[in-house]
Chain A
Amino acid sequence: QPPLPLVVNTWPFHSATQAAWKALSAGGSPLDAVERGCAQCEVDQCDGTVGYGGSPDESGETTLDAMIMDGNTMAVGAVANLRRIKNAIGVARAVMDHTKHTFLVGESASLFAESMGFVCEDLTTNRSLSIYSKWLDLRCQPNFRKNVTPDPTKSCGPYKPVRGLPEEKTSSLQKEVDLHSHD
C-alpha cells in the first residue's frame, strides 16, 4: 500500500509542495493544503506563471485565475480574470466557503474579494512591464488574434474583423511552445 498523506503538484515548484505538506502535517485538511500550497506559489511568483507580475495581457495587465475542489463534497470555488487581488486561490476558497455559487469572474470577482477582506493592489511589477514593453517592441508578437486586420502576425491593433473567413484547418490549434507562458 503506497504511503499517505500525499501532495503532488505540476512543475518543480518545491516551496509550494512543502507548504502544502506542512499544512497537512499540522492537521489541516487537503483543502487547506491545496490552498496553502498554491498561495505559496502566488507569493513566490513561481516561474513567472503564477501570481502577480507575470503574463501581462495585450493591455499590459496581469489577471489571475484559480480554482479549488473538495473531493468529498464536490464543492468548488473558482475565480477567473481576477484583477488587483494577489491571493487568487484564497478568493477561490472564499467563493467556496462564503457563497452558494461556484465560479466568479472579472471585475465582479474582485469586488467580491474586496468585500471578503482581501487587499486590493496593483499586480503590475517592473518585470511584467518589461515583458509588455518587449512585446510592443516586437510588433505585438506572439499574438492570439486571427482573421482580423491589420495582419496580427505583423502588426499591433486595434484590430477589426475581416470578411470571408478562410476555411478552418484542424492544425490551427497547434502553436509554438513557450514554457513560461502556460495555464
Chain B
Amino acid sequence: TIGMIAVDRNGNVATGTSTNGASHKIPGRVGDSPVIGAGSYADSLVGGAAATGDGDTMMRFLPSYQAVENMRLGADPTTACQKAIDRIQKRIPVFFGAIICANRTGSYGAACSKAPGFTQFHYSVFKPDLSQPLEEIVDCL
C-alpha cells in the first residue's frame, strides 16, 4: 500500500492511497485505504495524514482523521501521528500499523505501532534542496 501527502508552496494539501489490499482476503473485503479519514485525510487549513498496515484494525479508529484533528489542536506532525497510534493501542495493544503526518507549513513526521516483526517504519520524503528522495526511519511505539 502507498499513502501519500503532497503540499505545494502555498500550503495546499492533497492526500491519496493505492493498494491491492491483504493477501488471501475474502472476496469483497475492503481495507482502510479507500476509506476517508482511515486511509488518508487532508485539510489545507491544517495538513494531511495517511495510514498503512492492518486495515481491518485501523479503519475502526479513523487514524488519519484523528491525526489531522490532533494537528488542528496544535500538535506537531510527529506528536499528532503518535497520538493517533496511541489511541488505537489503548484498545488493541499490539497491531501492525503506521501513519505519516504533514502540516500545511511543511513539517512532517510519522509513528508506528510495534508488533512482532515490525519495530521500525521506513517512509520517503522529497523537499527542496534534495536531489533525490530521503528515506526516513522511525522507531515504533
Q: In which size bucket is the chain B interface? A: 35 or more
Stretch from A52-60, A112-120, A160-168 that touches the partner: A52-60
Task: Find chain B residues with CB under 8 A from A150 CB.
Answer: none
Task: Find chain A residues with CB under 8 A from B118 CB.
Answer: 177, 179
Interface residues of B in 53-73 (CB under 8 A from A): 53-59
Contact of A5 among B52, B56, B122, B128 (CB under 8 A): B128
Contact of A64 among B6, B18, B133 (CB under 8 A): B18
Per the bound structure, the CA–CA distance linking A173 and B46 in Å amounts to: 32
The verdict on A62 contacting chain B, using a C-beta distance below 8 Å, is yes
Q: How many A-B residue pairs have CB under 8 A?
A: 315
- B20 and A54 contacting across the interface, CB-CB below 8 Å: yes
- B44 and A37 contacting across the interface, CB-CB below 8 Å: no
The verdict on A174 contacting chain B, using a C-beta distance below 8 Å, is yes
The verdict on A154 contacting chain B, using a C-beta distance below 8 Å, is no
B59-103 to A contact mask, C-beta < 8 Å, 1/0: 100000000000000000000000000000001111110101010
- Interface residues contributed by chain A, number (CB under 8 Å): 87
A1-45 to B contact mask, C-beta < 8 Å, 1/0: 111111111111110111011001000011101110111011000
- B16 and A69 contacting across the interface, CB-CB below 8 Å: yes
Per the bound structure, the CA–CA distance linking A29 and B95 in Å amounts to: 35
A40 to chain B, nearest CB (A): 9
Contact of A144 among B26, B35, B39, B127 (CB under 8 A): B26
Per the bound structure, the CA–CA distance linking A146 and B139 in Å amounts to: 33
- A68 and B15 contacting across the interface, CB-CB below 8 Å: yes
- B95 and A174 contacting across the interface, CB-CB below 8 Å: yes
6 nearest A-B residue pairs (beta carbon): A183-B55, A183-B31, A71-B42, A71-B13, A2-B106, A30-B14
Given A2-B106, A30-B13, A78-B36, 8 extra CB contacts under 8 A? A7-B126, A9-B124, A10-B1, A10-B2, A11-B2, A11-B124, A61-B27, A145-B26
| A-to-B contact residues, CB < 8 Å | 1-14, 16-18, 20-21, 24, 29-31, 33-35, 37-39, 41-42, 46, 48-52, 54-59, 61-72, 74, 76, 78-81, 88-89, 92, 102-103, 105-106, 131, 135, 140, 142-145, 170, 173-183
